[in-house]
């Protein structure tokens, strides 16, 4: 039981490049989330999904897109990376009955030069 | 969600109990108190939560004052692996799709 797995773990991009972060969970959770964490700060919600085929904006959605084509996967895309998107990205999942108890992945460290 | 206040940092001796305070004086009747922690370079980890009764699990104990305006997370026998940032979060439970709001947290250093 791997829990929440994020790939890649590290990535360096140049400004304007695009990339997709993958999150996979094996707990059959309905809800999935993408957060970002900047140095010395708490986590901020980017987008979330309450089920396959559905997504919703969080508090900092600009510059990101997401897709939830399969229940176990939640993809975060950056179409045109900017230095302001340098951050650590965390994916999380929870059951629909317990959105308050979230299980997090190990994070993806992204640098945009 | 109610705002929480935690001390920015604290040290604890290995093997001793660590008592982490959290103030949430504006908590409302349907809001729970949650504790998560984040070990360096890892994702946050759920620890425990409660409404008004004291709670205990294999990781920690949660003591909530009778007026619910503050709480204390207790790590009964701190180990070096408990060094982490501990976050106290107040929110309505089970709300669909709601984010977790992580404030500054308390940076706990367990020393040998």
Q: What is the pLDDT along chain B (112 residues), one digit of tens a residue?
A: 668 999 999 999 999 999 999 999 999 888 899 999 999 889 999 999 999 989 999 999 999 999 999 999 999 999 999 999 999 999 876 665 567 888 889 999 999 9
Give yes or no for a contact between A78 and A64, defined as CB atoms under 8 angstroms apart. yes
Residue B12: CA atoms inside 13 Å, Cβ hemisphere, count? 26
Rounded to a whole number, what is the distance in Å from the CA of B37 to chain A's nearest CA? 11
Cβ neighbours of residue B54 closer than 8 Å, sequence gap 6 or more: B61, B62, B63, B64
Query: At A84, is the secondary structure helix, strand, or coil?
Result: helix
Asked if B41 lies within 8 A of A107 by C-beta distance, the reply is yes
Nearest-angstrom CA–CA distance, A71 and A32: 9
Cα B28 versus chain centre, distance: 18
Contact list, B91 vs chain A (CB under 8 Å): 100
Contact list, B5 vs chain A (CB under 8 Å): none
A22 in B contact zone (CB under 8 Å): no
Beta strands A31-37 and A43-51 are: antiparallel
pLDDT of residue B109: 97
Phi and psi (nearest 5°) for B80?
-60, -30
Nearest-angstrom CA–CA distance, B77 and B59: 10
Judged by phi (left if over 0) then psi (alpha if -120 to 50, else beta), residue B15 lies in: left
Asked if A50 lies within 8 A of B97 by C-beta distance, the reply is yes
pLDDT of residue A38: 92
Q: Say how many Å lie between the first and final Cα of chain B, rounded.
A: 37
pLDDT of residue B95: 60
Nearest-angstrom CA–CA distance, B44 and A14: 28
The chain B residue lying nearest A4, using CA atoms, is B43
Which DSSP symbol is given to B99? P
Band (pLDDT 50/70/90 cuts) for residue A1 is low
Q: Say how many Å lie between the first and final Cα of chain A, rounded.
A: 36
Asked if B98 lies within 8 A of A99 by C-beta distance, the reply is yes
Chain B interface, Cβ < 8 Å to A: 32, 34, 41-46, 49, 87, 91, 93-105
- pLDDT of A27-44, one tens digit each? 999 999 999 999 877 889
Which DSSP symbol is given to B81? G
Band (pLDDT 50/70/90 cuts) for residue A19 is very high
Mean pLDDT of A2-19: 95
Mean pLDDT of A67-74: 96
Asked if B94 lies within 8 A of A100 by C-beta distance, the reply is yes
């Amino acid at each position: 039981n791997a829990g929440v797995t994020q790939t890649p773990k590290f990535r360096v991009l140049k400004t304007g490049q695009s990339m997709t972060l993958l999150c996979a969970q094996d707990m059959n959770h309905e809800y999935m989330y993408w957060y970002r964490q900047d140095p010395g700060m708490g986590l901020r919600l980017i987008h979330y999904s309450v089920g396959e085929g559905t997504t919703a904006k969080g508090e900092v959605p600009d510059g990101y897109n997401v897709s939830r084509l399969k229940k176990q996967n939640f993809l975060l895309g950056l179409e045109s990376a900017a230095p302001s998107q340098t951050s650590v990205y965390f994916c999380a999942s929870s059951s629909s009955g317990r959105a308050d108890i979230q299980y997090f992945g190990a994070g993806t460290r992204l640098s945009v030069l | 969600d109610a705002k929480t206040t935690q001390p920015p940092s604290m040290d604890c001796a290995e093997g001793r109990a660590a008592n982490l305070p959290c103030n949430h004086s504006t908590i409302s009747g349907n809001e729970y108190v949650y504790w998560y922690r984040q070990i360096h370079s890892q994702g946050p980890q759920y620890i425990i939560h409660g409404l008004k009764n004291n709670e205990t699990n294999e990781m920690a104990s949660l003591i909530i004052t009778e007026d619910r305006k503050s709480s204390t997370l207790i790590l009964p026998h701190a180990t070096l692996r408990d060094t982490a940032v501990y976050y106290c979060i107040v929110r309505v439970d089970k709300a669909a799709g709601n984010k977790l709001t992580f404030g500054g947290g308390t940076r706990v250093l367990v020393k040998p």
